[in-house]
Structures are given as structure tokens and as C-alpha cells.
């Protein structure tokens, strides 16, 4: 898994050197990421992963953020259905097991360990929120399991590289840079107002935008 993480890191660095647009970069990351996942599946030992490939998700399915968690799960299931209808990945069907963290970051490690008790858990996917994912990091390192597509733009996870945390979206700083560059270079806008949530999430995003 360490080699897998280093491979992804090298690809991300290469992409950033070639593309200035965050949109172009992320489109390429999606394509390369899924190609690597399929290659990874084909090289994993059949003694450990037979039958279905099980992915685990912990996200809010109740509480204030339940809409986000529900929609993320729906998107993953739609993608899995499309792949499964075409024969799966090297003949293996994809299965998603989702648990509710009730919008409580402290529940994330508890629910994650429940997922990891499931035999043949292949990877984690679609975790939501910076605080919850921060709670997850020690488990990723301990269990050496990959967390795919965490839904957060926090720069804390990008400036501090973790080989098991594989992003398929850009961070707040790159998003902000792309938006500001567009407004200045394409629209000649020199005065930009910012609206943000008055909470921890909004404070983090605001800090990135002030840069």
C-alpha cells in the first residue's frame, strides 16, 4: 500500500506541474485514479480478496448534514451499479457498506473500526468532513488501508501528505486561486466580496481565501 500511495503522490505532483487550471487537473486525476484502482485490484492476492470487493463508508445520514451524506452515498452506489452491470472489476462486484456518524466526528473512528471488522474490507470511501477525517487518520496509518475520495477541501490534508488518504477533489486554496484568477484575468474584477459561514468550517475556508 505504501507504493500505491507514493504512486498517487507522484502523479498528483506531475499533474500540478502540467496544468494551471484546477478543473483540468481534477479531471485528469479522476481518470488516472480509476485506472490505478483497477490495476491495484488485479494485483492484490486472491487469497485475501475473493468474491465481492467491499468498500466502507462513514458519513452523516442523520442530523444537519444528512443531505450531503445521503447524496455522496447515492453517487457512489450509482457508480458501483454502472461498473457491476458491466461485469465488475476483473469479474468482482463492488459492494458498499455505509454507517451513520450522526454528524459527530467522535463517532467516525468507532464506526470505522466496525467496518474494518467486516471480512475482506477492501478500502474506505466517501468519508465526509474535515473533523471526522482527522479522527480517521490514525486508523489509516495503523491498519494501512486506503481512504478514497474524502469529501473535504481542507488544506490540512494536502500540506501534510498521507499515503492512505487519496483525494479526487482539489483543496480550498486551489479552488480559491482558480476563482480569483478567473475574476481578475477574465472579468477584470478588482474588488471581491466574500460570504462565509460563521463557524469552524467557514473560518477555515475564509483563511484560505485571504491568502
pLDDT digits (tens, 9 = 90+) for 109-141: 999 999 999 988 999 999 998 889 999 999 999
HSE of 28, CA atoms in CB hemisphere, 13 A: 16
Average pLDDT, the chain: 77
In this model, does residue 21 exceed pLDDT 50? no
Return the pLDDT at 31: 45
At 23 the pLDDT is 39
Over residues 9-21, the mean pLDDT reads 45
pLDDT given for residue 201 in this prediction: 61
pLDDT in tens, 24-71: 444 444 445 555 555 555 544 445 556 788 999 999 999 888 998 998
Q: What is the reported pTM? A: 0.72
- Percent residues over pLDDT 90 in the chain: 30
Cell of 14: 506531475
Q: Higher pLDDT residue, 7 or 112?
A: 112
Mean pLDDT computed over 97-116: 96
Mention every residue, 6+ apart, whose C-beta is less than 8 A from residue 136. 58, 108, 109, 112, 124, 127, 147
pLDDT at 171 over 90: no
Element holding 177 (H helix, E strand): helix 172-185
CA angle 30, 33, 34 (to 5 degrees): 90
Would you give the end-to-end CA distance of the chain in angstroms?
Answer: 34
Determine what percent of the chain is predicted with pLDDT higher than 70: 70
Burial class (CB in 10 A: 0-12, 13-18, 19+), 86: exposed
For helices 22-43 and 2-18, the axis angle rounded to 10 degrees is: 160
d(CA 127, CA 133): 7
pLDDT band at 143 (very low <50, low <70, confident <90, very high): very high
CA torsion through residues 197, 60, 52, 1, sign: positive
**Regarding predicted confidence, which is higher, 197 or 56?**
56
For residue 22, pLDDT over 90 is answered with no
Of 5-19, 41-55, 159-173, give the lowest mean pLDDT range: 5-19
Amino acid at each position: 500500500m505504501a507504493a500505491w500511495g507514493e504512486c498517487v503522490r507522484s502523479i498528483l505532483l506531475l499533474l500540478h506541474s502540467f496544468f494551471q487550471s484546477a478543473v483540468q487537473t481534477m479531471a485528469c486525476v479522476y481518470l488516472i485514479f480509476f485506472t490505478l484502482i483497477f490495476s491495484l485490484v488485479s494485483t492484490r492476492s486472491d487469497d485475501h480478496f475473493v468474491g465481492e470487493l467491499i468498500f466502507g463508508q462513514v458519513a452523516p445520514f442523520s442530523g444537519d448534514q444528512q443531505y450531503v451524506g445521503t447524496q455522496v452515498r447515492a453517487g457512489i452506489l450509482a457508480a458501483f451499479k454502472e461498473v457491476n452491470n458491466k461485469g465488475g472489476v476483473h469479474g468482482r462486484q463492488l459492494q458498499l457498506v455505509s454507517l451513520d456518524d450522526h454528524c459527530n466526528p467522535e463517532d467516525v473512528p468507532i464506526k470505522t473500526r466496525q467496518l474494518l471488522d467486516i471480512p475482506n474490507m477492501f478500502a474506505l470511501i466517501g468519508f465526509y468532513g474535515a473533523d471526522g477525517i482527522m479522527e480517521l487518520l490514525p486508523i489509516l496509518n495503523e491498519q494501512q488501508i486506503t481512504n478514497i475520495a474524502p469529501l473535504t477541501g481542507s488544506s490540512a490534508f494536502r500540506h501534510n501528505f498521507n499515503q492512505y488518504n487519496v483525494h479526487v477533489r482539489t483543496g480550498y486554496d486551489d479552488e480559491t486561486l482558480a476563482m480569483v484568477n478567473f475574476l481578475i484575468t477574465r472579468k477584470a474584477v478588482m474588488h471581491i466580496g466574500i460570504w462565509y459561514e460563521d463557524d469552524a468550517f467557514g473560518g477555515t475556508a475564509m483563511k484560505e481565501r485571504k491568502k
